[in-house]
Structure 1
Amino acid sequence: MTKRPRVRAPELQGRTWINTGGRNLRLSDLRGRTVILDFWTFCCVNCLHVLDELRELETRHRDTLVVVGVHSPKFVHEAEPQAVVDAVERYQVEHPVLDDPELATWQQYAVRAWPTLVVVDPEGYVVAQHAGEGHAHAVEALVSELERAHEAKGTLRRGDAPYVPPEPEPTTLRFPGKVLRLPGGGTSQAAGSGGERFLVSDTTRHQLVELAADGETVLRRIGTGERGLRDGGPESARFSEPQGLALLPDGRTVVVADTVNHALRGCDLATGAVSTLAGTGEQWWQGAATRGPAREVSLSSPWDVAWFDGRLWIAMAGVHQLWTYAPPADGDAQGTVRAAAGTTNEGLVDGPAAEAWFAQPSGLSASADGERLWIADSETSALRVLERADDGGYVVRTAVGTGLFDFGHRDGPAEDALLQHPLGVTALPGGRVAISDTYNHALRCYDPRSGEVSTLATDLREPSDAVPAGGGPGGAGAAEIVVVESARHRLTRLRLPQEAVRVAPVAHRTRRSATEVAPGEVLLDVVFQAPKGQKLDDRHGPSTRLVVSSTPEELLAEGAGAGTDLGRRLRLAEGVREGVLHVSATAASCDDPDAAEGEPNEYPACHMHQQDWGVPVRVTESGTSRLPLVLAGLDGQDGLDGHDGLHGHDG
């Protein structure tokens, strides 16, 4: 392959900078350091995975590496300035962030997917691009290599990163995630309301907080408040961004979706003691076990939990699935987990549970009659439902929502209604369903009997969950609801209105522009090069996998389905002028003992690289007949130059 000219990294353009103390940065300010540009958006769970992957790398190379987040929004809400500031604090992003609401820098770097990492060397040239997650090992090796090479060359400049932390805010809760109404009585007695209490996942502070009936008085905190995975008493246990909460039938054990720890934790209400129920603490990857003893199977960003049909159901946001947890029984020491619904493909497809597609399911609630499990499917801005099928299995259908790229705030018949990235769902007495319509700052309602969607309340800052309050055990007959206003750091009690709130309808599509493709045949080319010092891992079969589909399904006349080649010829159907190509690629690589410096590693590590793309396309006569998507590539490789990739030049 001919070596192409090096590409000078384009300048960073956006609205404002965060975490810099008000200073505007330029790439020239960072010359002499390796720079990693992290293109992310805060709705994207894969982007959150990458934030976590980068933490250790930032610490290890703190004087030679600068990570710069480039926030590139998908949803309209994500373009709001305060929302970006909130997200940076919520997820404890400890590096400078460029707020780029118009996607100016995204377009200059020809980024096609969230998340994408671009590595810029100390002289200001792009040397690598990685889409998706699972690249930390490759980026670590490259950063170390650049550090050595440029120190020897005299072009490395050590020093502190230009990160200025925000001032801490003295609030009782900080970006709370989910809430659970606890049974009356118990060890912690609340004032009023017959001992009504609420347990809240205080996500950014890595704690559980028990509150009195007023939703403000703190009765106790569980967890040290430091990020970590540690079992023990309430003063020593550690969580990492906990979210969903559910009470087991024993009435004593609360299950916690410990999201960034990729685990389920158990909290004893009587003592506050915390234990690990499921998960290994490591993230699940394609090819890993999907069932088995609970503490021996990896999970991936469990976001919510709910007891339904004799098992605990898990909204496994990280892999777009629902899993279940069966507690220990009959001598079983740890219980079992298994995947129960979803293929891991991201999208909105109904049908038998094993064939359905989800997109970051983030909220669960079982109906009072036990007949159905309601699901807030956040990335498709949809309300989904799982029910028993005639054959004894489960089936998934969509109540509200149309797909990955359509969203808004519109009431009316469910087939026309729109939501915007809902994170919570609450089954109400009488059969209605409350939806925490997070990015619309609203509490919405779906009535299965009429098929209508209405608005119950507005001006709720990023509501992420709700629970019926008062009116008897479990909120039966409740006329009130307690809402988690995550971005206002509080619980808010509302009376359920008799009439809907009138809201002017709005509809949106994703801010990404469609890629113009030529009619007929299009070559899909997923670019992947094993990182230096590694080779493709084909010991147990093909090392790569490519799955392609489309919305609408009729867009593709040929080329849909799964295969092992990362290149594929697609044929677009005549008469279909636009749609979305769904592309999922994985590649397995292992350390190459023959390429190792010094003594060969007797136990080489193996790595999985993966990414899902949803590529909006529009068919035009002048469109491209080749669609390159970079999973991982190096400078000089096709897809990273000024033609198919970066809009830059050699300076």
Structure 2
Amino acid sequence: MTDATSAPASPPSRRARVRAPELIGKGGWLNTGEMSYTLADLRGRIVILDFWTFCCINCLHVLDELRELEEKHRDTVVIIGVHSPKFVHEAEHQSVVDAVERYGVHHPVLDDPELATWKQYAVRAWPTLVVIDPEGYVVAQHAGEGHAHAIAKLVEELETEHAAKGTLRRGDGPYVPPEPVATGLRFPGKALVLPSGHFLVSDSTRHQLVELEADGETVVRRIGSGVRGFGPDSFSEPQGLALLPDGKVIVADTVNHALRTYDPVSGAIETVAGTGRQWWQGSPTEGPALEVDLSSPWDVAWWADRVWIAMAGVHQLWTYDPATGTVGVAAGTTNEGLVDGPAAEAWFAQPSGLAAAGDRLWIADSETSALRYVERAGAGDGEGDGEGDVEDGFVIRTAVGAGLFDFGHRDGAAEQALLQHPLGVTALPDGSVAVSDTYNHALRRYDPASGEVTTLATDLREPSDAVLVGEDIVVVESARHRLTRLRLPDEAVRVEAVAHRTQREATEVAPGALTLDVVFTAPTGQKLDTRYGPSTRLLVSATPPELLAEGSGAGTDLHRELVLADGVTEGVLHVSAMAASCDDDPANEYPACHVHQQDWGVPVRVGDTGTSRLALVLAGLGA
């Protein structure tokens, strides 16, 4: 999930002396023992600023990418997370405190709810990494994922250079871990009811599954070592759970990029899909399940005779077939957004919740704040206009949701109702759907028969899932670290409507021709590898689609000539770029290669005084 407005026309060399702006954040500092820091306090250390927001799956990937570097260079490198919110909920200080613990952030974090430091550094995308040398100068900036290798090499160069100059200071950093809190669950993710009547809960922050008695409180057993890992008894931030026909439970082992099974009878844990590595563009998208990389599977559901996977990390739905032991893409293009139609052409944005209900599979599509569903093409639900239907296969439709930038808490007719980053969805007995409306701290309901959205309950705390138990619904209150049992109400709660739109400064562009350049410089010691064809990819689209008269679509050149249509005065350009660089060593027949990728949403406003060139930096300065 990303955002952008503009970027420098070209990246200066790493040796350019650009003084780093000061670190400012109204929310204050976390993980520092209540101490505040300035860049002067950090002089002598290599500082890496990680501009992130906790709703963003790409940002969570970068947190994991940095863990090894953070440990290896702990005495010379200080990583500082600069939390820069997209959603209203993410600007709440306590929500940032929760997220830092939830995702195991083991470095200082500056809470910047007003984007003050973000603006000072001219950041345009989540995530962005900025490297500052021991003398306080910016030496590198990278947008997107896949830059850990380049930054690690740069850190080694800076260590050598500044040790020789006498400007490198080694020692302990400012990180102070918070005091642990004793609770039975800690940021639980998903839940299901076992045949025994007990609950099984993914205790995500503790890297375990927990079986609870029917009261939802008493711990029967903990499954997994509780230590982050990919061993035979280890998980890493597990999320989704689904009961299989053979009685086993399939687990979305999210940060391990894998599916595991757990046998409630024998206690056995088995890996059934994924390699433990994150999927990147160009990797296989189908094949033997244990040989294909996955990317942050967030939820799972048994539907249409196989396991469906909400593959949040690549904005797709995949399936796993236990009968054949294979996985493959079922829907989505990896482009981030809200586009309905045939499964292969649909766009998603971090699908995070699934629920099977007869001939539909419901989806909580979190970054578009949408409730969507899959059904067989030609099912004739009477709700769509028939456009995009195909004779066989599956079709994706949206019930509630407007896109990446519109969210809020508004009930009423589905076409104008609003959610805010929902993570869970539950099929109800009457054919309606309960939505765990996570950032609204509410449980919502959509009724396909009436087309209405109502609110079932409020004053929950980041609900991420819910399961039915008789006439009750049991909600996973993730940020209250508990399961909460509610009686399904006969009447909905009335909530005053609140609507929001992500506020981003629009780039003023001139009408007509617009040149788009994505700036990429291969990291030191690497080059673009063209031995087997182009190693770059560029995809451009727009919201509304009518904004672009020419230039949309995919290509391999990072330069594109666009033409803005007459009569459309504003919109968003969606730009997705990828570049693969390999070690530049002619003697090495099999050089190591690295993928750098980023998606931008660029708000534009057409005006006579606007620019005719838009440059976006994928990797610049010290790349």
Output the TM-score relative to the length of structure 2: 0.95
Query: How much does 1:620 deviate?
Result: 2.6
Q: Write the letter of the residue equivalent to 2:107.
A: H
Is 1:466–1:481's contact at 8 Å kept on the other side of the alignment?
A: yes
Counterparts of 1:210 and 1:578, CA distance in 2: 52
Residue 378 (structure 1) aligned with residue 366 (structure 2): yes
Query: 1:520 offset after TM fit, Å?
Result: 2.0
Find the aligned partners of 1:571 and 1:32 in 2 and give their Cα distance.
Answer: 48
- What are the within-5 Å matches in structure 2 for residues 35-114 of structure 1? 35-114=47-126
Q: What TM-score do the two structures reach when normalised by structure 1?
A: 0.91
Whole-Å separation in 2 of the counterparts to 1:407 and 1:424: 16
- Please give the per-residue CA displacement for 1:178-220, whole angstroms capped at 9, x wherever unaligned: 0011113xxxxxxxxxxx2110000000000000111100011
Partner of 1:160: 172
Shift of 1:303: 0.1
Q: Which amino acid aligns with 1:180?
A: L
Separation in 1, partners of 2:162, 2:435: 53
Amino acid in structure 1 at the alignment position of 2:449: R
Out of 173, 187, 202, the residue aligned to residue 185 of structure 2 is 173
Uncovered stretches (5+) of structure 1, i.e. residues with no partner = 185-195, 232-236, 330-334, 471-478, 595-599, 638-651
| Structure 1 counterpart of 2:286, from 291, 299, 305 | 291
> 1:603 Cα deviation (Å)?
3.2
Cα distance per residue 1:372-424 (max 9 Å; x no partner): 00000000000011000132200001000010000000000000000000000
The 5 A counterparts of 1:183-222 are: 183-184=195-196, 196-222=197-223
Question: Secondary structure of the residue that 2:90 maps to in structure 1?
Answer: helix
Partners of 2:199 and 2:392 lie apart in 1 by: 36
Q: Which residue of 2 aligns with 1:603?
A: 590
Equivalences for residues 309-324 of structure 1 within 5 A: 309-324=304-319
Question: Which residue, 314, 317, 321 being the options, matches 1:326?
Answer: 321
CA distance in 1: counterparts of 2:507 and 2:254, whole angstroms: 34
Equivalent position to 2:20, from 9, 29, 35: 9
What's the counterpart of residue 155 of structure 2? Answer: 143
Partner amino acid for 2:17?
R
Instruction: Please give the alpha-carbon distance, in whole angstroms, between the structure 2 residues aligned to 1:533 and 1:123.
Output: 24
Q: How many angstroms apart in 2 are the aligned matches of 1:376 and 1:137? A: 34
Aligned to 2:567, which of 558, 575, 585? 575
Q: Distance in 1 between matches of 2:611 and 2:469?
A: 56
The whole-number CA distance in structure 1 between the counterparts of 2:399 and 2:464 is 19
1:332: which partner in 2? none
The C-alpha deviation readout for 1:244-272, integer Å capped at 9, x for no partner, is 0001111x210000000000001011021
Q: Is the 8 A contact 2:257 2:275 kept in 1?
A: yes
CA contact (8 A) 1:300 1:316 kept: yes
Q: Does 2:239 match 1:238?
A: no
Q: Deviations over 1:305-334 (max 9, x none)?
A: 0000111000000000000000035xxxxx
Cα distance in 1 for partners of 2:582, 2:537 equals 16
How far did residue 559 of structure 1 move? 1.0
Alpha-carbon distance in structure 2 between the residues aligned to 1:625 and 1:423: 40
Q: What letter matches 1:395 in structure 2?
A: V
- Counterpart of 2:388 in structure 1 is none
8 Å CA contact 1:74, 1:512 repeated in 2: no
Aligned with 1:499 (options 486, 491, 500): 491
Work out whether 1:615 is the aligned partner of 2:602. yes
Shift of 1:454: 0.3
Percent identity over the alignment is 78
Aligned length: 599
Shift of 1:123: 0.9
Q: Which moved more, 1:121-130 or 1:405-414?
A: 121-130
Provide Cα deviations, 1:485-533, integer angstroms capped at 9, x if missing partner: 0000000000011111010000001132222222222221111000000
Kept after mapping to 1: 8 A contact 2:401/2:415:
yes
Where does residue 593 of structure 1 map in the other structure? 585
TM-superposed deviation, 1:571: 1.4
C-alpha contact 1:116 1:131 (8 A) present in aligned 2? yes
Matches of 1:592 and 1:165, distance apart in 2: 40
* Alignment of structure 1 residues 320-469 onto 2, 5 Å: 320-329=315-324, 335-367=325-357, 370-390=358-378, 391-469=391-469
Distance in 2 (CA, whole Å) between partners of 1:261 and 1:584 is 25
Task: Determine the structure 2 residue equivalent to 1:234.
Answer: none
Cα gap change, 1:5 to 1:535, in 2 (>3 Å): closer
Q: Does the 8 Å contact 1:242/1:258 carry over to 2?
A: yes
Contact persistence 2:16–2:139 (CA under 8 A): no
Instruction: Report the Cα distance in structure 2 between the residues aligned to 1:171 and 1:73, rounded to whole angstroms.
Output: 28
- The one-letter amino acid paired with 1:401 is G
Shift of 1:5: 4.6
**How far apart are residue 624 of structure 1 and its match?**
2.3
Retained in 2: the 8 A contact 1:323–1:339?
A: yes
Instruction: Determine the structure 2 residue equivalent to 1:128.
Output: 140
